[in-house]
Chains A and B, each alone.
Chain A
Amino acid sequence: MWMRFKRDRTGVISACIVLAFFLIAALAPVIAKLYGKDPYTRYGQLRPGLLNENFYPMKPNGGIDGEFWFGLEPGLGRDVFTQLIYGIRTSLSLAIIITLLSVLTAIVIGVVGGYFGGKVDYFLGRFTDLMMSFPNQLFFVAFTPVVAALLVDPRDEMPTWLRACVLIYVMWLLGWMTLARLLRGQTLSLREREFIEAARVAGTPPGRIVRKELLPNLVTPILVQATYMLPNNVTAIAGLSFLGVGLQEPTPDWGRMFATGAEIYQSDITYMFFPGGAMVIFILAFNLLGDSVRDAFDPKSGR
């Protein structure tokens, strides 16, 4: 499996790019320290000569120079480079947690439904159908503020970690259904296979069959689906921030950079290219990686 993956040059390159993004996210504070700036300080307002009277960077191309590699944020005058790496850090951590939770839920619901069948399966199946008919983007937008208001009085300031929890919760709630359906189908067909039947006849308890016989055979679809799920979660979180219901200022956030960029694109288009370019590279690399993982695990499927 690993050998097959290593032979796939596109796969290896995209894996490296994805890994680089994770490293940047993990090491964002270290990078920022070496670079000598942080994402909160309003350099443009503190130091004269960086922003003009309309609060746009004085230098061309959004104020890019040797000191501010990606330029300055118009208005507040913060450093774009550190904003971006910290933003990637927040978005990626959220997306990873959401993906893990969704995958775990999908495994539980899919495998239990598929393995035990009967009434359990019927009700889990109807529950999955019901969750699927919620308009999910609308649900995210509508419920993030409601869940937030449930926890904190709307007039109070909400701590960032709590807001992040709300985002995770809402997206997890509607994130597991596709994979659960897939796993249910796979479990259903695996259940009839001889080795499972043999284990059952030998008196193995159901829990052990699921853990030792079923799950190892489901690793491939889980891994493949997870590589598709993660980038989708990244873009969905960014979409929420773009619509103004994601993480709030001053927490640096990848998606909110698009919202800022969309406000100022008429005067300073350069700003938009950094979060946008990074996002395109990340998603492209991840999609290619997903295809390669699928090919490596399951060479029969082909493209």
Chain B
Amino acid sequence: MLRFLIRRSLGAVVILLIISAVTFFLFYAVPRDPATLACGKNCTPDALAVIRKNMGIDEPIPMQYWHFMVGIVAGRQFNVGDCPAPCFGYSFANQDPVWQTILDRFPTTVSLTIGGAVVFLVIGLGAGMIAAWQKGTLIDKAFSSMSLLLSSMQIYFIGPLVLALVVYNLELLDQPKYVPLTQDPVGWFLGLLLPWLVIQIIFTANYTRLSRSSMIEQLQEDHVKAARAKGMSGKYVFFRYAWRGSLIPIVTIFGVDMGSLFGGAMITEWTFSLPGLGTLAVNSVQNTDLPMVMGVMLFAATFIILFNIIVDAAYAFIDPRVRLS
């Protein structure tokens, strides 16, 4: 297990290095003056000079990349001030340190992701299990049609509709917002309730289908049949034998989904104007705030890779036949 983790972590570092290099060179090694590019549309000569200085544009590009990477590990000195490790530089748009901004925005994204995941796991896995149990009945068909319809919905369509109905027409809830959990748990829950309910629609359908088919497959397995044949109760076999086995494909998809969600659910956050990483990314792109985009990009990629490793390690716990190699 330990050897597996070490090897995968080294692989992850290599991949992150490549991603950072690709991103960096695409952003900075453009044939045109990167400072002009970074400065955006409303550029003044003063702003240009400041950016040139901050970027260290006089250095050759590989040296700039080297300084950037060293900055992440060991911190870095800037004209604007000292930037402790992990240093991703300063925003071009408002001169805030990138790392601190990401840390400030992260709790919103985490709250949205975890709450949304709870909703779609409970509904998706629940509906899938019931459908598999009642295979072929009206309930099964209703759930299947429902999940097909849901999977055709888009957040940028449903989000505004839900807002118009719940917030402006019925006035049941306020405009969604993020309140830290530690500060006001009730406000946190109510503020994020609508985003949770909306973000789950694109996932629930997938999980319903997946857990249904995987459950049906498991119920045909020999060890499940054997357990039934030796007189174990249907319920016990269903939950302890079949359900456990059916989780394997679900864990894979869940890991992938979580990895990408932790990097910011852009469309959902944008629809509900939540100040998470996704909104940060979109705003930075609009302001051509390259250090910020770079920071969010690496942060998000780290989560994707991290969750890939977690998924592979989790296999070993769910299914002892899987050997980590």
Chain A positions within 8 Å of B63 at CB level = none
Contact across chains for B266 and A137 when beta carbons are under 8 A apart = yes
Known: A135-B297, A238-B154, A276-B157. A141 touches B37 (CB 8 A): no
Of all A-B residue pairs in the complex, the 5 with the closest CB atoms, nearest first, are A276-B157, A284-B152, A135-B300, A283-B152, A265-B160
B30, A149: Cβ atoms closer than 8 Å: yes
Interface residues on A, range: 35 or more
Of A81-89, A161-169, A241-249, the one contacting chain B is A241-249
Please name all residues of chain A whose beta carbon is closer than 8 Å to the beta carbon of B127 when the two chains form the complex: none
**With an 8 A cutoff between CB atoms, is B219 at the interface?**
no
Identify the closest chain A residue to B293 (Cβ). Answer: A142
B49 at the binding interface (Cβ < 8 Å): no
| A119 CB within 8 Å of chain B | no
Contact B161 A269 (CB under 8 A): yes
| B301: A residues at CB distance < 8 A | 133-135
A153 to B, closest residue via Cβ = B32
Indicate the member of B41, B148, B157, B266 with the most A CB atoms within 10 Å: B157
**Cα separation A265 to B263 with both chains bound (whole Å):** 28
Q: Would A149 and B160 be within 8 Å (CB), given that A138-B281, A280-B152 are in contact? A: no
Q: Is the CB of A135 within 8 A of B260?
A: yes
Give B40's nearest chain A residue, CB to CB. A154
Q: Does B30 lie within 8 Å of A258, measured CB to CB?
A: no
The answer to whether B267 touches A239, judged by C-beta atoms less than 8 angstroms apart, is: yes
Complex: A149 Cα to B270 Cα, angstroms: 24
Number of A-B contacts (CB under 8 A): 120
Stretch at the interface among B191-199, B231-239, B282-290: B282-290
Contacts of B18 in A (CB 8 A): 130
Give the interface of B toward A (CB within 8 A): 15, 18-19, 23, 26-27, 30-32, 36-37, 40-41, 148-149, 151-154, 156-157, 159-161, 163-164, 168, 213, 260, 263-264, 266-267, 270-271, 281-282, 285-286, 288, 293, 296-297, 300-301, 304-305, 308
C-alpha spacing A234/B19, complex, angstroms = 26
Q: Which residues of B sit under 8 angstroms from A198, Cβ to Cβ?
A: none
Chain A residue numbers with a CB within 8 Å of B271 are 262
Q: How distant is the Cα of A139 from the Cα of B297 in the complex, in angstroms?
A: 8
The distance in angstroms between the C-alpha atoms of A244 and B287, with both chains bound, is 12
Q: Is the CB of A142 within 8 A of B281?
A: yes
With a 10 A CB-CB cut-off, give which of B156, B267, B296 has the most chain A CB atoms.
B156
Contacting pair B154 A244 (CB below 8 A): no
Cβ contact within 8 Å between A141 and B281: yes
Interchain CA distance A287-B300 in the complex, whole Å: 29
Residue in A146, A153, A272 whose CB lies within 8 Å of B26:
A146
A47 contacts partner chain B, Cβ-Cβ < 8 Å: no
Q: Which of chain B's residues have a CB closer than 8 A to the CB of A258?
A: 154, 156-157, 160
Given the known inter-chain contacts A265-B163, A272-B157, A283-B152, please indicate yes or no for A243 contacting B26, CB distance below 8 A: no
**Chain B: which residue is nearest A266 at the CB level?**
B168
Q: Check if A137 sits within 8 Å of B260, measured CB to CB.
A: yes
29 A-B pairs whose Cβ atoms sit less than 8 Å apart in the complex: A129-B15, A130-B18, A133-B304, A135-B301, A135-B304, A138-B297, A138-B300, A141-B266, A141-B281, A142-B285, A145-B285, A149-B30, A149-B32, A150-B30, A235-B154, A239-B156, A242-B270, A243-B282, A245-B285, A255-B156, A259-B156, A261-B160, A262-B159, A269-B161, A276-B161, A279-B154, A279-B157, A280-B153, A284-B148
Question: Given A138-B266, A150-B31, A272–B161 Cβ distance below 8 Å?
Answer: yes
The verdict on A130 contacting B304 (CB below 8 Å), with A149-B32, A262-B159 known, is no
A235 vs B161: C-alpha distance when bound (angstroms):
18
Query: Is A104 part of the contact surface with B, judged by Cβ < 8 Å?
Result: no
- Residues of A near B163 (CB, < 8 A) are 265
Interface residue A211 (Cβ < 8 Å from any Cβ of B): no
Chain B residue at minimum C-beta to C-beta distance from A245: B285
Contacts of A259 in B (CB 8 A): 156
Question: Given A133-B19, A154-B37, do A265 and B161 touch, yes or no (CB 8 Å)?
Answer: yes
- Which B residues lie within 8 Å of A134 (CB)? 19, 301
Shortest Cβ gap from B204 to chain A (Å) = 15
Shortest CB-to-CB span from B320 to chain A, Å, is 25
B300 nearest in chain A by CB position: A135
- Chain A residues within 8 Å of B156, by CB: 238-239, 242, 255, 258-259, 262
Interface string of A118-152 (1 = CB under 8 A from B): 00000000000110011111110111011001100
- Answer yes or no: A300 CB below 8 A from chain B CBs: no
Residues of chain B within 8 A (CB-CB) of A275 are 157
Pairwise interchain contact B282-A146, C-beta atoms closer than 8 A: no
A145 to B30, CA, bound (A): 13
Nearest CB in chain B to that of A265: its residue: B160
Q: A129-B15, A146-B30, A265-B163 are in contact. List 10 more A-B contacts (CB 8 A).
A: A135-B260, A135-B297, A138-B297, A141-B285, A149-B288, A235-B154, A238-B154, A255-B156, A269-B161, A287-B152
Given A149-B37, A238-B156, A266-B168, A133:B15 Cβ within 8 A: yes
A288, CB-defined interface residue at 8 Å: yes
Shortest beta-carbon distance from B130 to chain A in Å: 17
Across the interface, do B161 and A266 meet the contact criterion of CB distance under 8 Å?
A: no
Contact partner, B288, options A154, A272, A280, Cβ 8 Å: A154
A235 to B40, CA, bound (A): 28
Measured CB to CB, the closest approach of chain A to B167, in angstroms, equals 9
- Cβ of A138: which chain B residues have Cβ within 8 Å of it? 263-264, 266, 281, 296-297, 300
Taken together as a complex, chains A and B put the C-alpha atoms of A153 and B263 apart, in Å, by: 30
